[in-house]
Amino acid sequence: MPQITYRKALNDAFAEELERDENVIMLGEEIAQYNGAYKVTEGLHARFGDGRIMDTPISEAGFAGLGIGASMLGVRPIIELMFWSFSYVAFDQLFNNAPMIRYMSGGLINVPIVVRGPANGGTNVGATHSHTPENFAAYTPGLKVVCPSNAYDAKGLMKSAVRDNDPVFVMENTLLYGQKWDVPEEEYLIPLGKADIKREGTDISLIAHGRCVITCLEAARVLKEEHEIDAEVVDLRSIRPLDQEAIIDSVKKTNRAVLVDENKPFCGTSAQIAALIQEHAFDYLDAPVKRVSSLDAPQIYSKPLEDEMVPNAKRIVKAVQEIL
Amino acid sequence: MSKNSNTTTTANGKSGTAQSAKKKSAGVNASLTREDKVLLYRDMVRIRRFEERSLHAYQQGKIGGFLHLYIGQESIAVASASLMGGHDHIITAYRDHGQALSVGMTMNECMAELYGKFTGCSKGKGGSMHFFAPDKNYWGGHGIVAGQTPLGAGIAFALKYKKLKGCCLCLLGDGAVNQGAYHESLNLAALWNLPVVYIIENNRYSMGTSQERSSAGAPLARRAESYDMDWDVVDGSSVYEIRKKLAPAMQRARDEHRPCVLEIQTYRYRGHSVADANHEKYRSKKEIEDYKQNHDPIMLFQQTLLKEGVLTDEKIDEIDREAKNEAAESAKFADESPYPPEEEIFTDVYWEVDHKTEKNQGRLFFND
Ligand SMILES: Cc1ncc(C[n+]2csc(CCOP(=O)(O)OP(=O)(O)O)c2C)c(N)n1
Ligand SMILES: [Mg+2]
């Protein structure tokens, strides 16, 4: 199986969907002639042309809302945010228009959009450019939220997102774009709402999404090699829909859980998951559920400190040791 | 010229009289002393050398993240700061190093911030895009495109509310004019007669997108007309020109609470940020060279001052040498400075915590 980057996997997903359905278009800053600030859309403008791959002005509220409006008539825009941090400029469109229109119209109108771009810290760019708003989005009924942790998932999930008839927010990661994974050449889709066990284990469940899954796998290796602890790593893949069953099954098996996410802890994604575990697997728990999140302050610029701020394997190992 | 307390310019905020703005600021350049002119020149050179040194540090891996260089645009920050009196304020976007040095921030604190060091202007917490010096009336350093534009109106609002005679210079890029927040700000400024001067630093590109490909209608400043605001377009390659047009605009803002938009034509020689290595793809080498050869603000001012007999070749060399040394020293200072201690992550989040007041109760931080 060929190894391709996360970036290329996404690029292939777009190309395939643009090819398959002429209603699919792409909008965003620098995505066409410049090939994308992170080169995720490389070559698409050359291949599909001006009418379908469109550079926008720096007007997030405008082009996000435009995408929503166009989707009401059956266009299927994939809207790139250079960073999810910039979604805050378009908050009304993304969090008040996109998720509410279907409901308020009594189901008469659909909003089949994908909004995507990187949402991560750890890149030394400071507080305004390091947000991870998957919890904001998952909080909002009407929105779906996907956080792929690797190239294979990124491609399969993105293709499902494009075909979904509701707004799907896909949060990628600049630190993953250049990393490679096995990705088959033949077409495949991964349904939203289906978690994936990235490592089987018996002693503890590490439950994560996005790049934190990779960090958990690293922690699991250390736990095995240095502490003889056999951790299971559950990759949620999508936050909403959420594969509650996979979470509960894993916890029932291992009786312990450490939840890892890059959200800040207060009302972060893992807070919801912790609530579900205590509600549905209380009798199976041998220890309190632990959470490893970003440290609870705005993102610090200084690199060595930022590296401590986002979840790392060291902190995960420590959390595991505290309850095992 | 690097301190906003300098008195070489128009009447500063506190001493406004009923004279018309134009009259007051007439001769804004004629009244410059030889020393003032040398300082204007020197500050532009300092910015350029600082930026070059920071680029070098980035290439050495000592600075990471984003680094947006001001090289080519130095005249705007320097001319702007040179006109600021005690109650005048300035705020800008992420391309913020030039403004910082122009208002009198030291190279040391700026370079250390870029390195993420504790001795930086924000203790290493803000980074390249987020410099601040409220003691010098410099309110940042803002990473989100046009995010600073309502803040500029707000600073102007506060000046008026507090009955202080001053104005706010709010800088933005040519790409930022397409954000809703900017238009909302213009309307508020005009509607409420706020003493704010919006300065569009039009360097012709927003990242890889030319003005023609991003903005309908030109000149960009003309959009002010729909808000009944004054506007003008200024040749940014001349420090004198900028001062000539900016001084009366600031005076009108101070005296009559009339906001306006000035579009200053300029150019950046480097990529959008250091990461934008392919900037010769979206614009030609020839275009870049033309600006460097024929429109460089430092070179042009140098020629003017040589002609005026203000500068000599020796003096030019001396200024350059000093600026380079100062920049090199700042890199050394930054290198040798410590990173912030880990506890610093949780300071400066809440006033209450930093000041250990016990007024409020309840938990503020939620770490594992
Ligand atoms: C809301 C928002 N969208 C996008 C960006 C990414 N971005 C940073 S600078 C920039 C271009 C801005 O160009 P311009 O306003 O002309 O300023 P210049 O960089 O030329 O000084 C873009 C798209 C951002 N920081 N904030
Ligand atoms: Mg620009």
Q: What is the pLDDT of residues B43-55, one digit of tens each?
A: 999 999 999 999 9
Region A149-171: mean pLDDT is 98
Chain B partners within 8 Å of A88 (Cβ): 144
pLDDT for the residue numbered A76: 98
Asked if A266 reaches chain B (Cβ–Cβ under 8 Å), the answer is: yes
- Mean pLDDT estimate for chain A: 98
pLDDT for the residue numbered B159: 98
Does residue B273 contact residue A124 with C-beta atoms inside 8 Å?
Answer: no
Nearest ligand to residue B70 Cα: 1
SS3 A80: strand
Does residue A269 contact residue A263 with C-beta atoms inside 8 Å?
Answer: yes
Does residue B234 contact residue A86 with C-beta atoms inside 8 Å?
Answer: no
Verify whether the Cβ–Cβ distance A295 to B367 is below 8 Å.
Answer: yes
Taking residue B166's Cβ as centre, other Cβ atoms within 10 Å add up to 25
Give the number of A-B residue pairs with CB atoms closer than 8 Å: 141
pLDDT for the residue numbered B56: 98
Residue ranges of chain B with pLDDT lower than 70? 1-23, 26, 358, 368
- The full set of domains in chain B, from first to last, is 18-355 (3.40.50.970)
Give per-residue pLDDT as tens, A51-110.
999 999 999 999 999 999 999 999 999 999 999 999 999 999 999 999 999 999 999 999
Q: How many angstroms does the Cα of residue B64 sit away from the middle of ligand 2?
A: 22
Ligand 1 pocket, residue B150 CB under 6 Å: no
Q: How many angstroms does the Cα of residue B15 sit away from the middle of ligand 2?
A: 36
pLDDT for the residue numbered B20: 63
- The full set of domains in chain A, from first to last, is 3-182 (3.40.50.970), 196-323 (3.40.50.920)
Chain B partners within 8 Å of A305 (Cβ): 116, 124, 339-340, 342, 344-345
pLDDT for the residue numbered B278: 83
Residues listed for chain B: 368
Q: What are the distances in angstroms from CA B130 to CA B62, B142, B207?
A: 18, 6, 19
Of B126, B213, B281, the CB nearest to A55: B213
pTM for this structure? Answer: 0.95
Categorize the per-residue pLDDT at A130 as very low, low, confident or very high, splitting at 50, 70 and 90.
Answer: very high
| Three-state secondary structure of A248-285 | HHHHHHHCCEEEECCCCCCCCHHHHHHHHHHHHCHHHC
Give per-residue pLDDT as tens, A1-39.
999 999 999 999 999 999 999 999 999 999 999 999 999
Give per-residue pLDDT as tens, A269-309.
999 999 999 999 999 999 999 999 999 999 999 999 999 99
Q: Which residues contact B104 (CB under 8 A, 6 or more apart)?
A: B2, B3, B4, B81, B133, B136
Is A129 among the catalytic positions? yes
Does residue B137 contact residue B90 with C-beta atoms inside 8 Å?
Answer: yes
Of A33, A58, A126, the CB nearest to B176: A58
Of B122, B206, B339, the CB nearest to A304: B339
What percent of chain A is predicted at pLDDT more than 70? 100
Centroid of chain to Cα A146:
4
